[in-house]
Structure 1
Amino acid sequence: MSNTSIQEKNYKRFITIVSIVIPLAVALLFRVNLRELGLDVEPLRFLPPIYASINALTAVLLVASVVVIKKGNRKLHEQLNTVAIVCSVLFLIMYVAYHMTSNSTKFGGEGVIKYIYLFILFTHIVLSIIIIPFVLVTFMRARLGKFPEHKKIAKITFPLWLYVAVSGVVVYLMISPYYV
């Protein structure tokens, strides 16, 4: 078995584990509220605008990444995507930390706007789970030098990831008036 095949097998194993563990861990941790468990922790109420900003930055990085690769700058493209992945991980950590220390905020809008909010929130959540293996496979293919395969999946990954990043900001903007 070649070194590339071994690397690819290891990447695939890692991607499978991460793609299962992250959504499960988030679902479990989302149900844990440290304050309700009697721990004396301050609610991290300052985090939502920060993680919404990180989502916005992720969207900008993704668009910039596509622009630079179309100009042939592979190195900068790789760097921008790596930073976008780091931003997504930071978002996830802050999101979980916020929900572990604060009560969930209910959307207070009524009528059609409530259904629009719920649609955006639902699609954001579902796609944020689906996007994990797409991002990791896209990244893996580039790391292994499989650029035709990378480009093929990136055409799917990019719009999904961009939607998740932008919809995260929209969800924040829609619910922010209802934070206590």
Structure 2
Amino acid sequence: MEAVAKNEKKIKIWITILSVAIPLVVAILFGYKIPNVEPLTFLPPIYAGINGLTAILLIIAVLAIKNGKQKLHQNVMTTCIVLSVLFLVMYVAYHMTSESTSFGGEGFIRYVYFFILFSHITLSIAIIPLVLITYSKTYLGDFEAHKRWSKYTFPIWLYVAVTGVVVYLMISPYYS
């Protein structure tokens, strides 16, 4: 029991560090442009596709666990985490090599776009500790806590994945 508590304490420290460091590093790198590098303009549709695939896999993972397929659930969720990391690397690489694209829509649709974008960004920051906590509960063998955390993590992560695609579709006509 003491070893589990010690592991949990270490994991909480790492979750806290990563939950602060990842958004901070992304924000810093987002503002840095790599000089004399060809813009990676091919990346936005790829990372939007990764978001779409993540959304589909999240639903598959929920269906798998509801049907008692724990190993499938575990594999799909691990894939979702890997895809999210891959998305983040591509997103940062794009923004470090390309100028930001301004949304060109006007009127009501502009408000809709910025609402979706703001909620997407805010929740993409919030999802980091939620995913790490939920995943850590499984690692620690506390499946009841994993299940409780999943009820919050799943819909937020799904929202972030789906709105990532929506944001891309809304801004893609304005890429130069």
TM-score range, shorter chain: over 0.9
What do residues 2-60 of structure 1 show as CA deviations (whole Å, max 9, x unaligned)?
222222111111100000000101111111111xxxx2100000000000000001101
Residue in structure 2 matched with residue 162 of structure 1 by the alignment:
158
Measure the CA separation in 2 of the matches of 1:40 and 1:159: 41
Measure the CA separation in 2 of the matches of 1:171 and 1:110: 15
Residue in structure 1 matched with residue 79 of structure 2 by the alignment:
83
TM-score (norm 1): 0.96
Identical-residue share of aligned pairs (%): 62
Residue in structure 1 matched with residue 66 of structure 2 by the alignment:
70
Select 2:116's aligned residue among 113, 120, 123: 120
* Alignment gaps of 5+ in structure 2: none
Residue in structure 1 matched with residue 26 of structure 2 by the alignment:
26
Counterpart check, 1:95 vs 2:94: no
What do residues 44-82 of structure 1 show as CA deviations (whole Å, max 9, x unaligned)?
000000000000011011000000000011111111100
Task: Give the 4+ runs in structure 1 shifted more than 2 A.
Answer: none
Residue in structure 2 matched with residue 153 of structure 1 by the alignment:
149
Q: Secondary structure at the match of 1:168?
A: helix
Residue in structure 2 matched with residue 3 of structure 1 by the alignment:
3
* Alignment gaps of 5+ in structure 1: none
Residue in structure 1 matched with residue 139 of structure 2 by the alignment:
143
Measure the CA separation in 2 of the matches of 1:152 and 1:18: 22
Q: Give the counterpart letter for 1:14 in structure 2.
A: W
Residue in structure 1 matched with residue 12 of structure 2 by the alignment:
12
1:41-80 counterparts in 2 under 5 A? 41-80=37-76
Q: Secondary structure at the match of 2:138?
A: helix
Q: Give the counterpart letter for 2:51 in structure 1.
A: N
Q: Comparing 98-107 with 4-13, which one deviates more in the overlay? A: 4-13
What is the CA-CA distance between 1:130 and the residue it aligns to? 0.5
Note the aligned Cα RMSD (angstroms).
0.8
TM-score (norm 2): 0.98
